[in-house]
Amino acid sequence: MCDPRIIVALDFPDQVEALELARRLDRSLCRIKVGKELFTRAGPQLIEKLMRLDFEIFLDLKFHDIPNTAASACTAAAALGVWMINVHALGGKKMLLACRESLHQKNTKLIAVTLLTSLQREDLDEVGLFDTPAHIVQRLALLTQQCGLDGVVCSALEAAQLRSSGLIEEFLLVTPGIRLADSGYNDQARVATPRQAVQNGADYLVIGRPITRAAEPLKVLEKISREIYFV
C-alpha cells in the first residue's frame, strides 16, 4: 500500500455524516483521523466501518492520565486495530514509558502531542509555561523520542528546527494546523500551508475543516496532494 501523507480529520457529530464524507474521499490519497467527538458518539463500530472501507485510522483520543490508566487506554485503543494513537507528552516520562510498554509487539504507532497548535506564547504564560512554543516543543519531542515512541504531533512551524536538532530520521512529525492560503485560521494559532509543512520536514499533515467543510472535499484533497507531491 502507498503511504499517503494527508490525514483527514473527520470531526463530525455523527457517523452518518462521517461515513458519507469518507466515501467521497480517495483512500489512496489520505488516511482518516477519528477524534473525541465522533468516537464518543459512534464508538468502536465506526472504526470497524471505516477500516472496512480500507482506510487506515489515526484514533486521536490524546490520553493524558496517570501512567497505569493511560497505558491501559492505549492497550484498548490499539486492540481496535488502528494505525496510530496518541497521548499528551505533558503526561510526563513515566506515563510515556508505560504507554510505550503497553503496545509492546503491537503494530499501532504511538505518538505524543507536544503543544496543541491552538496555543501561542500568551496561552503558555497563563498556565505557567514561561518559554517559547519552539523551546517547549523541542524539549517534549526529545523526551518523547527518549521514551521510544514513534513520533510527535507539533505545528509545522517547529518541524524544521526539530529535524535539525538530532531527532532520528524515522521519528515521525505529524502536523495539524494546516491552512490553505485562502482559508481562515478558525481556532488554530500556529499554522502553515501544506507546502510549507512538507518543506519543513513534516511526515504527515492532519487536515480537517479546509477539506471536510469544502464544497468539494475530494477536489481539495487532490489539489493538496498534487501540491505536496514534488516538494
Ligand X SMILES: O=C(O)c1cc(=O)[nH]c(=O)n1[C@@H]1O[C@H](COP(=O)(O)O)[C@@H](O)[C@H]1O
Binding residue for ligand X, selected from 42, 113, 136, 156, defined by CB under 6 A = 113
Is 69 labelled a binding residue?
Answer: yes
Binding residues for ligand X, rule CB under 6 A, total: 19
Quick check: 74 binds ligand X (CB under 6 A)?
Answer: no
**Catalytic residue (one of 3, 54, 60, 182):** 60
Q: Is 65 a catalytic residue?
A: yes
Q: CB-hemisphere CA count at 13 Å for 102?
A: 23
Residues 6+ apart with CB under 8 A from 172: 109, 111, 150, 151, 152, 203, 204
Stretch that binds ligand X, among 89-97, 110-118, 136-144, 193-201 (CB under 6 A): 110-118
Binding residue for ligand X, selected from 86, 108, 138, 196, defined by CB under 6 A = 86
CA distance 84 to 103: 11
Q: State the minimum distance, in angstroms, from the CB of residue 188 to ligand X.
A: 5
Site residues for ligand X, 149-208, by CB under 6 A, read 153, 176-177, 186, 188, 206-208
The β-bridge partners of 112 are 87, 152
Centroid of chain to Cα 125: 24
Rounded (to 5) percent helix, strand, coil in the chain = 45, 15, 40
Residue 82, phi then psi, degrees to nearest 5 = -80, 160
String marking each residue 1-40 x if it binds ligand X according to CB under 6 A:
--------x-x-----------------------x-----
Please say whether the dihedral angle defined by the alpha carbons of residues 116, 3, 103 and 49, taken in this order, is positive or negative. positive
**Catalytic residue (one of 65, 94, 123, 223):** 65
Q: Is 36 a catalytic residue?
A: no
Which residues of the chain form beta strands (DSSP E)? 6-9, 30-34, 57-63, 84-88, 109-113, 151-153, 172-175, 204-207
Q: Per this entry, what is the length of the chain?
A: 231
Is 67 labelled a binding residue?
Answer: yes
**Catalytic residue (one of 49, 62, 94, 223):** 62
Helices and strands in the chain, H and E counts:
10, 8
Q: State the minimum distance, in angstroms, from the CB of residue 229 to ligand X.
A: 20
Is 11 labelled a binding residue?
Answer: yes
Stretch that binds ligand X, among 112-120, 133-141, 158-166, 215-223 (CB under 6 A): 112-120
Q: Is 62 a catalytic residue?
A: yes
Cell of 89: 507528552
Residues with a known catalytic role: 60, 62, 65
Sites of contact with ligand X (CB under 6 A): 9, 11, 35, 60, 62, 86, 113, 116-117, 153, 176-177, 186, 188, 206-210
Q: Residues annotated as binding site?
A: 11, 33, 60-69, 117, 179, 188, 208-209
